[in-house]
A and B are shown apart, each in its own frame.
Chain A
Amino acid sequence: MSNLLEIKNLTIGIHENGGEYTAVDGISYEVRRGEILGVVGESGCGKSITNLAVMGLLNDQLSVTGGEIIYHEPPAKTAENEPPKPAPAPVDLAKMSAKERQHINGKEISMVYQEPMTSLDPLMKIGKQIAEPLKLHGVNSKPGVKLSKEEIRARVLKAMQDVGIPEPERRMELYPHQLSGGMRQRVVIAIATICHPRLLIADEPTTALDVTIQKQVLALLKRINRQYRTSIVFVSHDLAVINQICDRVIVMYAGKIVETGPTREILLHPGHEYTKGLIRSIPRREEKGTPLPNIPGRVPSTTQYRDPCPFAPRCALATDLCREQEPAGVEVGEEHVVYCHMIHRPEQIPGEIPEQKPEQGEET
């Protein structure tokens, strides 16, 4: 799979209380074509900020201070007898002006937010809201030709059917408050996907929803991913939700990536203590009556001092090494990288021995 988005050494600074701090600290990852990538971590870990940077929606307090966000636009579709067009040159989204952005946001990359009620206009009929990106980008098979009213209406109805809104003709005349939470989130997803973007960023799209509605929305995102080969970046604080749809996962803590790998691999053999803590925090039926072994403490705020390994103050295995030196990535399995000093030092670990195989994970 080729890369659609490459984030290289991205650093985001935050201007707070008269000082300059680092919110996201030199992270690198890629989003591949057609995959669902999960980004997991507690609030305040920089997941949302990173994705807002990709969208170019950082507020005045925040700014990209280093690194690149490379977007590889795939070659345009050509007719059968034409020679294939070369792919356009990759662009750095971090250096793009707001005006240039307008051609990308909503058309190539779009976003779904956590709270569907606040991302919809309460005074506009939902059919009109869904049509808006289409009118703005004029997406059509022929370039330069404006879409007709009938065509827009047909596309809106199709988009509403795609996201599973029953009776689209009747519902497009309704206002957001007349819909349930799950339906509203479907409308937001319809707006985000009507131009068939190549990348969809979903920032906690199911956190505000019931478990049953959550399951529907997850199934819907997966279907959009399969049907249109849309890459999805799925942000959540719940690894159990990530498990439902993501192919790969990035675990973020305090502005850094601490673990990355295929979803099943990470859930079955978590390497980093933080990942283990996140997994243990979810109550399971078989553990009734026992205290949940959660992660003590909280994420340091951006203004606080952070150790070279940011998780050291909350980690049961932390040693002086973790407070002096930044851990390098250690490959413990296929594509499974853990940023922890303790990962291949089982003999030095006080108390708990990790379940990792000691012979694996030598530096390569």
Chain B
Amino acid sequence: MSTAVENVVEVSHVNNTYTDSGLGIFSKQTKRQVLHDVCLTIRKDEFFGLVGESGCGKSTLANAILGLIPYEGSIRVMGRERSELDRFSFSSAVQAVFQDPASALNPRKTIGFTMREPLRAHKIGTRAEQDAAVGSMLKKVGLNETYAARYPGELSGGQKQRVCIGASLMLEPELIIADEAISALDVSVGAQILNLFQEIDTEKDFSMLFISHNLDVVYYLCDRIAVMYCGHIVEMGTAEDVCQKTTHPYTKMLMAAVPGFGPPTTKTIAETAEPLREEVPGSCPFYARCRKATDACRSCPELINIAEPGEEEHLVRCVLAEKKAEEQQTAAQKQETAQKPQEEKA
């Protein structure tokens, strides 16, 4: 494998459409677009967060990368087109951890069997070596070797999720896709799993696509964040940019929705979550729910980089960002024109 690969995953212009056949047998078939021209890259050794409400297409994107659903566009994994990769070379590069650990594990197989399976499928090592690898992996995820002989039913939810994470790491993949991996767990157990991800990351570098609806958790864990709404990426940038220089009204709404420890405010966002106006085809995806929407929002804005020149890009899909970018441009132009005469004088 070449070491020059900078991006583990490159998703460019990916669209996904499904046909809703309706309820009755004679209902009209309607096409619904789940992903709209999604472009993102996950760099080597980076934790990338994907945030949005259920139904926004987060999991669809993860499934597209995993090859579980068809898509249009290009997904490149480790520099090669997804369709060129066979199952074996793909599964040694990308592994997944899902939301519900109980349904991800076979209840009739021991933990050891489940964790050994990737090695067996890839014919790596002898049986004794495989067992030893399972033992050391169990230790790495905070369990001990005796767990190899147990069945999933004997384990708690957090322990099962540790097993799932261990199994996903057996082939030393480049990328782990964690789809709501801690949402079904108690906060205390979720915290243990978050710590586990960070511990493993310090031992062995890997990238992660971490999907969640909780922006605080994503901010806590990830280096870069993409916010998704109705299949569109509406804001993307470093975790600091997205959470501290939040620009898109939807990201702001997500931030406000995370329960915190401050005194509860009487102001609720319940009203904003309800559609405020009729949806307009081809409008900004957030148009129906946005408080700041104007007539300018009736056409879908492009993703615009609002970061200062030279900094990591901070993309926002909003009319407000367009204005901001324009202001920046004019400010930069003014500076230039102001500097020029000075230079001439000098």
Residues of B within 8 A of A214 (CB): 257, 259
Cα distance A218–B273 in the bound complex, in angstroms: 13
The 5 closest A-B pairs by CB, nearest first: A294-B191, A283-B220, A281-B191, A240-B259, A211-B257
CB pair B253 A42 closer than 8 Å: no
CB pair B270 A181 closer than 8 Å: no
Residues of A within 8 A of B259 (CB): 211, 214-215, 218, 238, 240-241, 243-244
CB pair A277 B261 closer than 8 Å: no
Interface CB pairs A-B, < 8 A, 30: A164-B270, A180-B55, A211-B213, A211-B215, A211-B254, A211-B258, A212-B257, A213-B53, A214-B259, A215-B259, A215-B270, A243-B259, A243-B260, A264-B263, A277-B188, A278-B187, A281-B188, A281-B190, A282-B191, A283-B194, A283-B221, A285-B216, A285-B219, A285-B243, A291-B195, A292-B194, A292-B195, A294-B188, A295-B188, A298-B189
Residues of B within 8 A of A180 (CB): 55
A288 within 8 A of B: yes
What DSSP secondary structure best describes chain B's contact surface?
helix
Contact of B269 among A215, A237, A264, A285 (CB under 8 A): A215
B17 within 8 A of A: no
CB distance from B242 to the nearest CB of A (A): 11
Apart from A210-B54, A243-B259, list 11 A-B contacts with CB within 8 A: A210-B257, A211-B258, A216-B273, A220-B270, A240-B260, A241-B259, A281-B190, A283-B219, A284-B261, A288-B239, A298-B159
B156 within 8 A of A: yes
CB distance from B307 to the nearest CB of A (A): 19
A333 within 8 A of B: no
Residues of A within 8 A of B269 (CB): 212, 215
Residues of B within 8 A of A44 (CB): 156
CB distance from A256 to the nearest CB of B (A): 17
Residues of B within 8 A of A294 (CB): 188, 191-192, 195
B117 within 8 A of A: no
Residues of A within 8 A of B159 (CB): 298
B-side residues, CB < 8 A to A, are 23, 53-55, 156-159, 186-192, 194-195, 198-199, 213-217, 219-221, 239, 243, 253-254, 256-261, 263-264, 268-270, 273-274
CB pair A219 B268 closer than 8 Å: yes
Cα distance A267–B262 in the bound complex, in angstroms: 9
CB distance from B175 to the nearest CB of A (A): 21
Residues of B within 8 A of A212 (CB): 53, 213, 253-254, 257, 269, 273
Cα distance A181–B55 in the bound complex, in angstroms: 10
A55 within 8 A of B: no
Q: Which chain A residues numbered 131 to 190 have a C-beta less than 8 Å away from chain B? A: 164, 166, 178, 180-181
Residues of B within 8 A of A43 (CB): 157, 186
CB pair A283 B191 closer than 8 Å: yes
A211-231 vs B, CB cutoff 8 Å, 1 = contact: the mask equals 111111011100000000000
A245 within 8 A of B: yes
Closest to B56 in A: A210
Residues of A within 8 A of B191 (CB): 280-283, 292, 294
Closest to A282 in B: B187
Residues of A within 8 A of B243 (CB): 285
| Chain A contact patch, size range | 35 or more
Cα distance A297–B214 in the bound complex, in angstroms: 24
CB pair B192 A243 closer than 8 Å: no
CB pair B261 A215 closer than 8 Å: no
CB distance from A184 to the nearest CB of B (A): 12
Q: A43-B157, A212-B53 are in contact. Are A284 and B260 (CB under 8 A)?
A: yes
CB distance from A361 to the nearest CB of B (A): 23
CB pair B198 A291 closer than 8 Å: yes
CB pair B270 A219 closer than 8 Å: yes
Q: A211-B257, A219-B270, A264-B263 are in contact. Are A298 and B53 (CB under 8 A)?
A: no
- Interface hub of A44, A180, A219, A278 (most chain B Cβ within 10 A): A219
Residues of A within 8 A of B23 (CB): 178
Contact of A283 among B157, B216, B273 (CB under 8 A): B216
CB distance from A88 to the nearest CB of B (A): 35
Q: Which chain A residues numbered 29 to 87 have a C-beta less than 8 Å away from chain B? A: 42-44
Closest to A281 in B: B191
CB distance from B53 to the nearest CB of A (A): 5
- Interface hub of A211, A214, A216, A280 (most chain B Cβ within 10 A): A211
A279 within 8 A of B: yes
A267-279 vs B, CB cutoff 8 Å, 1 = contact: the mask equals 1000000000111
Closest to A291 in B: B195
Cα distance A240–B259 in the bound complex, in angstroms: 5
Residues of A within 8 A of B264 (CB): 243-245
A362 within 8 A of B: no
Cα distance A282–B273 in the bound complex, in angstroms: 24
Closest to B222 in A: A288
Residues of B within 8 A of A277 (CB): 188
CB distance from B147 to the nearest CB of A (A): 14
Cα distance A44–B188 in the bound complex, in angstroms: 13
CB pair A298 B194 closer than 8 Å: no
CB pair B257 A283 closer than 8 Å: no
A287 within 8 A of B: yes
Residues of B within 8 A of A267 (CB): 261
Closest to B239 in A: A288
CB pair A42 B186 closer than 8 Å: yes
Contact of B186 among A164, A166, A237 (CB under 8 A): A237
Cα distance A294–B199 in the bound complex, in angstroms: 14
Residues of A within 8 A of B263 (CB): 264
CB distance from B317 to the nearest CB of A (A): 19
Cα distance A238–B192 in the bound complex, in angstroms: 15
A106-124 vs B, CB cutoff 8 Å, 1 = contact: the mask equals 0000000000000000000
CB pair B195 A215 closer than 8 Å: no
CB pair A284 B216 closer than 8 Å: yes
A192-236 vs B, CB cutoff 8 Å, 1 = contact: the mask equals 000000000000000000111111101110000000000000000
Residues of B within 8 A of A215 (CB): 256-257, 259, 268-270, 273
Closest to A288 in B: B220
Closest to B156 in A: A298
CB distance from A155 to the nearest CB of B (A): 23
